[in-house]
């Protein structure tokens, strides 16, 4: 099947813009892109934003794929600014009704886009996430499935971030403008803004559709680093009082420690 055949076959479906920040991701990037190419939902565009600090052959990998598939687009950052500004730049170039996040070391199962977009269309949702499993740096998949609650509000997120970025889909026609801050935990901050300031709840689709890679450099591996970031979000982004910050931080710590047992 050619690309033009795919386009005609998918013309009645809404375009989904897939945002992928790239920073020295050559060892996993091709596998990630293949997981998108293998989706049974084919009306998508992939916006790869390459960080200026990238020194491996990530650019060449993207260029090679884009030569065979014009849906894959390369954008190069002028500065070395991290995931938040990279995703924000991706939002500005996104043409789709829906926005989805696929990090350069994660993998989507083949029905991820079709099932999740159908879930959102059928129910009129503008913010959703799915279940996922973690996998090791060398691709071994852990048995535990992390399934989100069916409904997630601002108060729920303050207690515990149950939303994995790679599982999220947003309807930008209802939520835009979208901005990710240049601040550690930028995805969590965006979820708080959508559920808090915009009053839009996240709907958890009860299917395991994503493989989230835990790399040696993953921020989520460092409990103390993440805990410090969480406290900063409470105090400096959400502007919570010390007492409220302490309450939510305690909930976060207990949940995080139980997750590691």
Q: Which domain holds residue 258?
A: 222-261
Structure tokens at 249: 């931080």
> Are 172 and 82 found together in one domain?
yes
> Are 177 and 117 found together in one domain?
yes
17-29: per-residue pLDDT in tens?
Answer: 999 999 999 999 9
Residue 141 has pLDDT above 80, yes or no: yes
> Are 237 and 149 found together in one domain?
no
Residue 138 has pLDDT above 90, yes or no: no
> Are 107 and 17 found together in one domain?
yes
> Are 7 and 133 found together in one domain?
yes
> Are 168 and 202 found together in one domain?
yes
Q: What H or E segment, with its residue span, contains residue 208?
A: strand 202-213
pTM of the predicted model as reported, rounded to 2 decimal places: 0.90
Q: Are 22 and 50 in contact (CB under 8 A)?
A: yes
> Are 14 and 115 found together in one domain?
yes
- What are the DSSP calls for 69-131, one per residue? -TTEEEEE-SS---HHHHHHHHHHH--SSEEEE--TT-EE-TTHHHHHHHHHHHHT-SEEEEE
> Are 170 and 260 found together in one domain?
no
> Are 130 and 253 found together in one domain?
no
> Are 237 and 209 found together in one domain?
no
């Amino acid at each position: 099947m050619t690309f033009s055949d795919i386009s005609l076959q998918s013309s009645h479906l809404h375009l989904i813009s897939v945002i992928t920040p790239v920073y020295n991701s050559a060892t996993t990037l091709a596998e990630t892109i293949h997981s998108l190419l293998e989706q049974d939902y084919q009306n998508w565009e992939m916006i790869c934003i390459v960080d200026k600090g990238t020194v491996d052959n990530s650019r060449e990998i993207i260029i090679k794929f884009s030569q065979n598939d014009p849906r894959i687009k390369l954008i190069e950052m002028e500065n070395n600014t991290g995931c938040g500004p990279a995703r924000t730049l991706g939002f500005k170039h996104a043409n789709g009704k829906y926005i989805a996040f696929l990090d350069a070391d994660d993998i989507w199962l083949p029905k991820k886009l079709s099932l999740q977009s159908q879930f959102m269309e059928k129910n009129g949702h503008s913010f959703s996430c799915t279940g996922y499993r973690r996998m090791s740096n060398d691709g071994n998949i852990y048995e535990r499935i992390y399934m989100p609650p069916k409904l997630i509000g601002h108060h729920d997120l303050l207690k515990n971030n149950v939303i994995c970025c790679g599982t999220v889909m947003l309807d930008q026609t209802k939520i835009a403008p979208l901005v990710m801050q240049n601040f550690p935990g930028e995805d969590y901050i965006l979820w708080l803004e959508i559920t808090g300031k915009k009053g839009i709840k996240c709907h958890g689709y009860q299917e395991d559709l994503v493989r989230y890679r835990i790399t040696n450099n993953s921020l989520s591996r460092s409990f103390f680093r993440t805990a410090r970031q969480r406290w900063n979000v409470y105090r400096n982004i959400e502007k919570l009082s010390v007492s409220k910050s302490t309450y939510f931080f305690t909930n976060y710590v207990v949940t995080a420690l139980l997750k590691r047992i």
